[in-house]
Amino acid sequence: MDEAGARVSGAAAGARPSQRGRVRLAVAVHVLVLAATIARQRNWLYRRVELGAVMEDLGTGDPQRIGPYTLRARLGQGGMGRVFLGRSPSGRAVAVKVVHEHLARQSDFRRRFAQEVTAIRAVSGAFTAPLVGAGPEDDPPWLATVYVAGPSLAEAVAEAGPFPLASLWPLAAGLAEGLQDIHSARVVHRDLKPANVLLAADGPRVIDFGIARALDGASLTPDSVVIGTPGFMSPEQIDASELGPSSDVFTLGAVLAFAATGQSPFGEGPPLAMLHRIVHGDARLDGVPEPLRGLVAACLAKEPADRPTPAEVLRLVTESWRPPEQRPTEPFWPTPVTLLLPRHRLPHSDPQPAGEVPPTREELTLRYTRVRQNERDLDPTAAARQMEQLAIDQARVLGPDHPDTIQSRHMHAFYLDIADKPAEAAPLMAAVVTDRRRILGPDHEETLRSEQLHALFLGKSGEYAEAARLLAQNARDRARVLGPDHRSTLWSRHLHADFVHAAGDHTEAARLMAGVVADLTRVLGADHSATRSSRHVLETYLGTEDSPTAARQRTS
């Protein structure tokens, strides 16, 4: 076993906590607790910085121009300054960070800011947002980086949930390669966290590298936010030791654990408790899938010397994961994350990215019609893939909340189920349900239809009890909105009984199905195919049939 592999194995078995810097830890905790308290009092600002925000129009107090860049919109605000969408004279989109006034008045801050700007000019790479301009001597100081059209990792996980393993590998590879490029320029990021990882259509981008150092020793005002994020700091950062590249590797491990589980590996709660767990406790990695868990554990080793380098991380990732062929028709991220990308696209008055010609509405409609008309001849997996890409294109052209976009997402999940992939279809349909409730309302027929299919997919995935619970609610809602004798109401009741039976309550299932048979007989007649089908299932429950049909087959 080589050295990097040994680190992974050793970290997976657990590492002894460091005992350094208790006095410095107490001082750092005091500052962080104070800053976190202030930030919580301004929770709207803290949440906006961490989760990202849709572009806003410029306010009355916002500058119209910084350096050579015309400002177009406000992107957000952080501890160092405000961030704007800018446009260069040639039309290039950039993110312009303008330093807060109270920091710009501090000569020590301006000196460190100028030094860091000089250092990070040398950083370039496929997975970073390079510096394209800066005015460290201007009033106020500013810097500009390439604009990345995508959500932060924090926003993506908050809205779409934890990432599957298939997306964690390319995330890990991209971030490791980005850190390699940053460290090769002799820069340490110092603040790698989910809010500083942006997800472009073709991979992650690391932003704000090196700039956090300019805040060292700066006087904070009550309007400041936390310098460093407690859940994403290294032990040496907490005890004020000298920081090297291995500090970024520790926070890389924390970021990957967050992407896999939706939370910091050191939990939530007061900063004091979180910082103590980082220095003295074990990371909670139960939700991180193997074999990535061992790599994450190695990154989170307490001692810097025990962590792999970014190059070793990249090599270990590629030993378990092989990058797929990059084809324009295949999205880089899971569909729920890809559908967030249109929120961050440039305003309509800005030029389209080079080489990109968006499809017309007519072309999008024709693509949907062709899939539906040819669905009997198409392989369902191919149909699902076409609907997935169609939904992405519709979100870009029509908007993520357009009815056509959501309908294509609905059909994407539907075709996945037809392809015998209900476990993949269920979370996609759950996202459709959430959006249809928000846009159309809980009582809209399309919302009720998506809810019914979501429950069905869960049941076919083996989650019988949850499927039964959701179908019981769906049947009640349909009875209230459409009437108790509506065909779709009776079908939800049929499915409810079926999954109650699959969950093991055979007596209750027989009682429920008997009620369905009675109402179908009254509404449709005893010889109707739906009545006969439910009666056949009831006879199976009662043991009067020689060949019972499994719930999975019955509900296909």
Question: How do the pLDDT tens digits run along the chain, 556 residues long?
Answer: 555 555 555 554 444 444 444 545 554 554 454 344 434 333 322 333 333 445 788 878 889 999 999 998 888 887 788 899 998 877 788 899 998 888 888 888 888 888 888 878 888 788 888 888 889 899 889 999 888 888 999 999 988 899 999 899 999 999 999 999 999 888 888 889 999 999 988 889 998 876 655 444 444 333 333 345 778 899 998 887 788 999 999 999 999 999 999 999 998 888 888 888 999 999 999 999 988 999 999 999 999 999 999 999 999 999 888 876 644 445 568 888 888 887 787 765 444 444 456 788 888 988 898 888 887 777 888 889 889 889 888 888 888 888 999 999 999 999 999 999 999 898 889 889 988 998 889 999 999 999 999 999 999 999 999 999 999 999 999 999 999 999 999 999 999 999 999 999 999 999 999 999 999 999 999 999 999 999 999 998 887 443 333 344 444 4
Q: Which of 57, 181, 191, 498 is catalytic?
A: 191
SS3 call for 183: helix
The b-or-e profile of 111-150 (16+ CB within 10 A means b, else e) is ebbbebbebbbebebebbbebbbbbbeeebbbbbbebbbb
| Rounded Cα gap, residues 394 and 264, in angstroms | 34
Look up the pTM and report it.
Answer: 0.60
Helices (H), 300-420: 310-320, 335-338, 361-373, 380-397, 403-418
| Rounded Cα gap, residues 302 and 236, in angstroms | 9
Q: Going by DSSP bridges, is the β-strand pair 81-87/142-146 parallel, antiparallel, or unpaired?
A: unpaired
| Rounded Cα gap, residues 452 and 459, in angstroms | 11
Q: Binding site residues for ATP, as ranges?
A: 97
**Do 468 and 459 touch, CB atoms closer than 8 A?**
yes
**Do 473 and 495 touch, CB atoms closer than 8 A?**
no
Neighbours of 358 (CB within 10 A): 11
Task: For residue 191, indicate whether it is catalytic.
Answer: yes
Q: How far is CA 473 from the centre of its chain?
A: 29
Q: Binding site residues, as ranges?
A: 97
